[in-house]
Amino acid sequence: MIIAALEHEQVEVIFGYPGGAVLPLYDALYHAQIKHILTRHEQAAVHAADGYARVKGKPGVVFATSGPGATNLVTGIATAYMDSVPLVIITGQVATKLIGTDSFQEADITGITLPITKHNYLVGSIEELPVTLAEAFYIASTGRCGPVLIDIPKDVMEQEGTFCYERNREIPGYRPTYVGHPGQINRMVKAIKEARRPVIFAGGGVIRSGAAAELRELAIKCRIPVTLSLMSLGAFPGDNPLFLGMPGMHGMVAANFALTEADLIIALGARFDDRVTGKLEQFASEAKIIHVDIDPAEIGKNVPIDIPIVGDVKQVIRELLKRVQPGDTSDWLQRIEEWQARYPLSEGTAPSSGKLKPQFVIREINRLTGGKALITTDVGQHQMWVAQHYCFREPRTFLTSGGLGTMGYGFPAAIGAKLASPASTVICITGDGSFQMNIQELATVVCGNYDLKVVVLNNGCLGMVRQWQELFFEKRYSQSLLHGNPDFARVAEAFGATGLRVSTADEATAALEKALSVRGPVVIDCLIDPAENVYPMVAPNRPINEIITGRDLE
């Protein structure tokens, strides 16, 4: 029944790891046509399914056994939940009569994951199974997407019953709003016409709804500059003159100044995360704020909203484009151009030191791929350098853990991305700390011979932790220096992948060219300047226009 339901849902790939409680399921899978990817850890399985879902735009599917198999999924589930990624996770459970007895490999996974799933189920009988599976896919992929977990006792998996499957069920009490209120859209039209200093702030909801083309049309038609959250990079072309870059703690100076001085902020599928707003009391104090989001709980949650619109971003923008008339933004755009010229991105402090700069490595990746690669990252300094220095031009080409900030996400997510888009150049840019969180997945990529490249920006420390300790804790580097790191190129070779190690700009360019010219998994261990920090930077709980540019410290 489970395999048949997945076939009805046109599932092509499953990520998982077997165990005793799911042996009946894996036995059924033995004769199925659905591809199964055996990761080397359950956390990697859920991250890989997450990466697959972000690229493919449909739910990723995960199998895991009971107890520790299920609990190993928790970080990945929370990652997907925070970033609104559709997943259907099927876990095995001990037999029904053993539930609650603390039996071998029992864990209350529905209770554990209740706060980090959009919905979850404990299946009590075979009769519930077809409806539960259909509902799970429907809930995961509609409205604000998210992970749904189905926990199935082993004895239920061994039962037989009548299978009748119906896709896309309507569920009483669950009816997401897709069409924006016409009256509120009219207010939005009026506000845009009257605005002289408007800014579009687009979030991950633009990508989830497939609204990138509509966003471009709106910005160009109305001559409104666009700033993108970390989760929406690629939703607006990074080389468009109207693009301000990312805002917030490590955002572009022009983007932060524009949000601070705007008279109108049009927030589309964004949630005003604290890393974007900085000190809330001083965020966008001069602006009227329009907020469009499919999740009504997000509107007004963090900042006061003047024009709330509940609905699907794509549909709302389409309705807006039928009636909107541009205001006069010429003076505003000129002012922004002046900020951009005055505060360009730093290409690395003290470049004459001869040490390899991470910014250079990322710019070389951008140059050699023409900005057309599919990039995944983990979390930390390398993540921010990628967001700043790689020019994303298309949606669903940047995969990162935004909300939860999960080390260990990038490498397995790249596996899922490659399976979702086999023809794409897929590159995981990671740090030495993050890579070691799921380094065992080198076995997965070698066994699958996936044409996937890993670039490790290796500074021998937990870079972002070290940066904060340098700036705010008087250089007390408590437990942030990673003594004993291996040679990642030799580790890659031990697994059967190609390994390269570089420490200069010329070596980095040559290694990247080689990696991109050969098929199969390649790991490049880049020994970067350990003293390099991420700038611009806004200190915690400070207004986003109070920016440390890096040049202040040179």
Q: What is the pLDDT of residues 21-79, one digit of tens each?
A: 999 999 999 999 999 999 999 999 999 999 999 999 999 999 999 999 999 999 999 99
Position 351 pLDDT exceeds 60: no
pLDDT of residue 554: 46
Do the Cβ atoms of 92 and 22 come closer than 8 Å? yes
What does each C-alpha distance from 125 to 10, 137, 156, 161, 499 come to in angstroms? 24, 19, 6, 10, 50
Residue 298 is among the residues annotated as catalytic for this protein: no
Q: Which CATH class is domain 182-342?
A: alpha beta
What does each C-alpha distance from 521 to 19, 253, 276, 416, 427 come to in angstroms? 28, 37, 35, 14, 10
Q: Which of 148, 141, 152, 97 is nearest to 120 (CA)?
A: 148
Percent of the chain with pLDDT over 70: 98
119-122 and 87-93 strand pairing: unpaired
Residue with tokens 């380094």: 439
List, in order, residues 6 or more apart from 418 with CB less than 8 Å away: 374, 424, 426, 450, 451, 452
Q: What is the pLDDT of residues 317-326, one digit of tens each?
A: 999 999 999 9
pLDDT of residue 170: 85
User: Which two three-digit tokens encode residue 415?
Assistant: 């596996």
DSSP 8-state symbol, 483:
T
When the pLDDT of each residue in the chain is averaged and rounded to a whole number, the result is 96
Q: Encode 491-530 in three state secondary structure.
A: HHHHHCCEEEEECCHHHHHHHHHHHHHCCCCEEEEEEECC
pLDDT of residue 550: 78
Tell me how crowded residue 393 is: count the other CB atoms within 10 A of its CB: 17
Question: Which residues, in sequence order, are bridge partners of residue 517?
Answer: none
Residue 472 is among the residues annotated as catalytic for this protein: no
Q: Taking CA 156 as the corner, what is the angle to CA 154 and CA 161, rounded to the nearest 5 degrees?
A: 150
Q: 118, 154, 314, 355: which is the annotated catalytic residue?
A: 154
Return the beta strands (E) in 362-435 as ranges. 374-377, 398-399, 426-431
Q: Taking CA 452 as the corner, what is the angle to CA 447 and CA 456, rounded to the nearest 5 degrees?
A: 110
The count of residues in the chain is: 554
Q: 10, 104, 127, 372: which is the annotated catalytic residue?
A: 104
Q: Is the dihedral of CA 110, 111, 114, 119 positive or negative?
A: positive
The b/e string for 139-166 (b: 16+ C-beta within 10 A; e otherwise) is: bbbbbbbbbbbbbbbbbbbeeeeeeeee
Phi, psi angle pair for 71, to nearest 5°: -70, -25
Peptide bond into 198 cis (omega under 30): no
Position 352 pLDDT exceeds 80: no
Question: Which residues, in sequence order, are bridge partners of residue 399?
Answer: 376
418-447 average pLDDT score: 98
User: Which two three-digit tokens encode residue 397?
Assistant: 């080409």
Residue 104 is among the residues annotated as catalytic for this protein: yes
pLDDT of residue 167: 85
Q: Which of 450, 376, 417, 408 is nearest to 60 (CA)?
A: 417
498-509 average pLDDT score: 97
The b/e string for 511-546 (b: 16+ C-beta within 10 A; e otherwise) is: bbeebbeeebbbbbbbbbbeebbbbbbbeeeebbbe
Q: What is the pLDDT of residues 225-240, one digit of tens each?
A: 999 999 999 999 999 9
Q: 157, 188, 246, 464: which is the annotated catalytic residue?
A: 464
> In the CATH scheme, what is the homologous superfamily, with its name and number, of domain 2-157?
Thiamin diphosphate (ThDP)-binding fold, Pyr/PP domains (3.40.50.970)
Q: Which of 422, 419, 423, 428 is nearest to 401 (CA)?
A: 428
- Domain ranges in the chain? 2-157, 182-342, 351-534
Q: 1, 15, 42, 388: which is the annotated catalytic residue?
A: 42
Tell me how crowded residue 406 is: count the other CB atoms within 10 A of its CB: 25
Residue 154 is among the residues annotated as catalytic for this protein: yes
In the chain, what are the helix, strand and coil shares in percent, each to the nearest 5?
Answer: 40, 20, 40
* CA within 13 Å, CB half, 321: 16
pLDDT of residue 107: 97
pLDDT of residue 346: 79
Question: Which residues, in sequence order, are bridge partners of residue 150?
Answer: 90, 121
Q: If you write DSSP's letter for every residue of 305-317 in order, what string do you get?
A: -SEEEES-HHHHH
pLDDT of residue 93: 98
Q: Does domain 351-534 have CATH number 3.30.450.20?
A: no
Lowest mean per-residue pLDDT among 336-350, 438-452, 468-482: 336-350
Distance CA(133)–CA(123), nearest Å, equals 10
Distance CA(275)–CA(251), nearest Å, equals 9
At 552, is the pLDDT very low, low, confident or very high (cuts 50, 70, 90)? low
Residue 464 is among the residues annotated as catalytic for this protein: yes
Do the Cβ atoms of 317 and 268 come closer than 8 Å? yes
List, in order, residues 6 or more apart from 306 with CB less than 8 Å away: 191, 288, 289, 290
- 2-157 and 351-534 share one CATH topology? yes
pLDDT of residue 348: 72
Q: What is the pLDDT of residues 464-501, one digit of tens each?
A: 999 999 999 999 999 999 999 999 999 999 999 999 99
The b/e string for 22-59 (b: 16+ C-beta within 10 A; e otherwise) is: bebbbeebeeeeeeebebbbbbbbbbbbbbbbbbbbbb
Distance CA(449)–CA(57), nearest Å, equals 24
